[in-house]
Structure formats: C-alpha cells, structure tokens
Structure 1
C-alpha cells in the first residue's frame, strides 16, 4: 500500500495519519472502520466478482466507497495496519452456526495485531455485529465492550466441526455474551489462503450470504443500522429497535446512499446460486 493509497484510506475513515502504531490509534481506527465502511454482501447479488487482491479491494472499499464481508474488510484493514507500522498476523477461523457446529475451514478472517506500546489485540472489522474495539488477545477474563461482553478462551476438545475433528491445542474460541462466535486457529495465513472460502460463501446454496442481503454499520452513537433486502432496522445503543419495510426502489436506493454512502444504479436482489453447495 503506497502513501497515496494510505492517505485515501485514512480520509475514508475520517482520521489523521497517526504518528505511532499505538493501541489508542488502533482503537480509533477500528471503531471508525466500523462506522464508515459497511459490512455488506451486495457484490454477490449484483453479479460482481470478489477478488482477494489488495489493489482490487482498495478500489472497492476506498475508490468506490463500498463495503464488503470479512475477507475484504479485514484483509484490507490488515494491509493498512501493516503499512502504518503494526505487526499484523492474519488468522483463519471457523464460525459457529446452528447447534454449535463449526463452519467450513477458512470460514472467517481475523487479525492479531501487536502495537509499539505492548500487547497483542484481536482486531475484527468484518464480522458484522461484534466488538467495537479490539480485544486483548491474551486476556482470558470477560472484556466489556459497547458491542457486548466478550471472552477469548482456549477451545475445548469436544466441539467437533461440521466435517469432524477436534480442536487443536492452540485454538481459541471467541465468545460474545456467553455464546461462542468463532474458533481461531493460530497458524499465520495470507490473504490468498481465503480464496476458496470466499468462493464458497459467494456461490454455495448453503451460504447465508447467498441466501440473503445485508448492509450494516455501527452508528456514531454506538448503535447499528442494517438494511436486509427491503427491511431497514435501526438499533439504538441500549438495544431498542425500530424496523421499517421500504416500499419503492427509490426508497431502498436512498437508504443505501444516505445511510451507508453507497451509490447503486439498481436495487440488489437475492440471486439464486448457480453452482456450489
């Protein structure tokens, strides 16, 4: 990522170029990312190719002012943090689904980030509703966050995945409000390792990204707004929710434009998967 691309990315986030890669700067970057760059899967339903290459992701997230899902959001955020001087390790995870079953390998991408003022942090701006700030990676006690109560714990041997197998000795489970969210593997990865996972999530009839539309971001008051198809949900910081069903295409496009900063020529519609599953 060259200096011009870094400057454009930081302008997208609305932050100044940091002097040092500290934990306070990481916290600010993490929150601003969640507030400005939506978690969305619109490309899948607009027929747009998802390419896990830094330049293509920058063109989408920064140039086109779009969002993305975990591979795109955390992959690009990790590249930014590395350029700013952070020590970043890309990690793979498997997401907990129904009945506590784990999803496919390389189901999710998260970041382990070390700062110059000490400590390692779990940074994740690509999981939808999750922590607003990075989590202390080596802490095993509860961590309070505007997004909930989180814990990072050693994975037990009893949670076999969808395709069998047990937890490795170094695997960690990330919990939110007492419920496991995903299982982290400690082996360092690179962005290219997630191409198959991105393809599966973009094409398989078993993928919830293929079966539904979502566009969501954290709001400046600590709440969240989410557009799922034509259902627009505003969630306040205290958990109170208001739901509106949007009628016309013009209303839907206006919400994408005015609340998420996304300019679209047509309303996305759920596309039937053509392969995979």
Structure 2
C-alpha cells in the first residue's frame, strides 16, 4: 500500500480515518473460535483484513491501522495496555494494544476494543463524548508511568484499561497474542464474537445471540443454527468462509 498524497497527517484526517475503519472493519475473534492461529506479521494481517475483508482483535486491528498511519506520515507508536476485567483486576502487561499519535499534542487511537471512543482521545485529559459514551485519560501510576483510560458511568469514572506511552515493537505482543488465543481464562476462548460500529449504534454477534443497538436502544434475538449465524456474518458483517 502506498501513501495517499491527498492525505495530510493532521487531526482532521486522523478522525476521518478512524471513523472509516470503525464503520468498515469489525472487531472479531472468529479465528480463535475456529482454532485458526493468529500470527502477528503485517503481510498476513494485510491479507486477512484488507484482501479477505475480515476483522480481528486488538493486536491485529491496531497494528495494521498503525502501519497505515505510519505510511501516511503520522508519528505513531504501538503502546501496551492492561484491560480491567470483571472483579476490578487488571490483566498482565501487553494484555491490550493501542496507538499513540503525536500531532499538535498526543492522542490515543484505538480501533481494536469493540465498544469504545470513536475519535482520537487527547492524552491531556480532555474528555470526548460520542455514541459509545464519554471517555478521558488520566494519570494512574506515577511510579510506573501508567495512564488510565476511563469511561463515565452512573457511579462515576470507571477505568477500562491502563497503559504506558513507551514505544513497543509488534513482536513484543507475540506471547500475549498466543495466550489470548489458547488460555482457558482468556476472555476470547470458548466464545464467538463479532461486533461493528454503525452510524447510529452497533451490531454485535455473541455466541448464539445478535444485538442491534440503535441510538441507545438494544434489541437482541437468538440465533437458532450455524446456518443462520453464517448468514448473519455475511449479511451484517460481510464475512464469509
């Protein structure tokens, strides 16, 4: 892929690229459910996501989107995060991958978290509000230089994950990528998940249910067969095997 000479690496174009990605490429773990190994090398990811019109999870989506931004002239780095799981505990280092983009100031961009902030989020702490909620970034740990990605909830701000701003290489995520695919306590094993943003909400297939969210209203229907699930994947997400 060659850079588009019509795209200037600025905040406006970054917002448009992020929005386009979120509306076009699903977050999905179908290869994990099918026992198809996910290997973190960019040619394989390009083939899967661009040529085969598939999605992926954080390591796949953010690394390939980060590569695109780099090709377009953005100052971008891979960063590692630790997701807050049920019970309030955070996962291990490299539990999650996101992107740090340096423009007039630094922004976190994340196209690999499913329901999340749809615009670049300033590292400065300014909040952003959209269909997926209100988010902000705050310092979390001065000793280890962690920041917290927080979501506004009824009970106040709730952290979704913690991260550092240190630059990482794609290979740094290999061990956790394999763990997420194979470990019994991984949130991605033993589950079928595919979700994509829409202009008015989100469509999510989770195991045997389909949830369509429109302007905050959810409607869930049960999926009765594999044939029906395959049809939904094709019709709703453009995925076929």
TM-score by length of 1: 0.82
Say whether 1:234 aligns with 2:220.
no
Indicate which of 117, 121, 130 corresponds to 1:145: 130
Determine the C-alpha separation between the residues in 1 that align with 2:126 and 2:9.
25
Runs of 4+ deviating beyond 4 Å: none
Say whether 1:133 aligns with 2:119.
yes
Report the counterpart of residue 28 of structure 2 in structure 1. 40
Indicate which of 178, 182, 199 corresponds to 1:199: 178
Report the counterpart of residue 24 of structure 1 in structure 2. 12
Q: Deviations over 1:11-31 (max 9, x none)?
A: xxxxxx643011111101111
Say whether 1:248 aligns with 2:225.
yes
| Helix, strand or coil at the partner of 2:54 | coil
Indicate which of 101, 106, 109 corresponds to 1:113: 101
Preserved CA contact (<8 Å) 1:107 1:197? yes
Aligned length: 237
Q: Deviations over 1:222-275 (max 9, x none)?
A: x000001220000112x21000102132221111001101012xxxxxxxxxxx
Preserved CA contact (<8 Å) 2:83 2:161? yes
Q: Mean Cα displacement is larger for which, 243-252 or 196-205? A: 243-252
Report the counterpart of residue 158 of structure 2 in structure 1. 179
Determine the C-alpha separation between the residues in 2 that align with 1:133 and 1:141.
12
Determine the C-alpha separation between the residues in 2 that align with 1:211 and 1:180.
26
| Helix, strand or coil at the partner of 2:113 | coil
Q: Deviations over 1:27-54 (max 9, x none)?
A: 0111111111000000111121201011
Whose strand fraction is larger, Structure 1's or Structure 2's? 2
Report the counterpart of residue 10 of structure 1 in structure 2. none
Preserved CA contact (<8 Å) 2:7 2:13? no
Aligned-residue offset at 1:119: 2.1
Q: Deviations over 1:55-86 (max 9, x none)?
A: 00000000110000000000000000000000
Instruction: In structure 1, list runs of 5 or more residues that go unmatched.
Output: 8-16, 158-166, 265-277
Aligned-residue offset at 1:88: 0.2
Preserved CA contact (<8 Å) 1:18 1:25? no
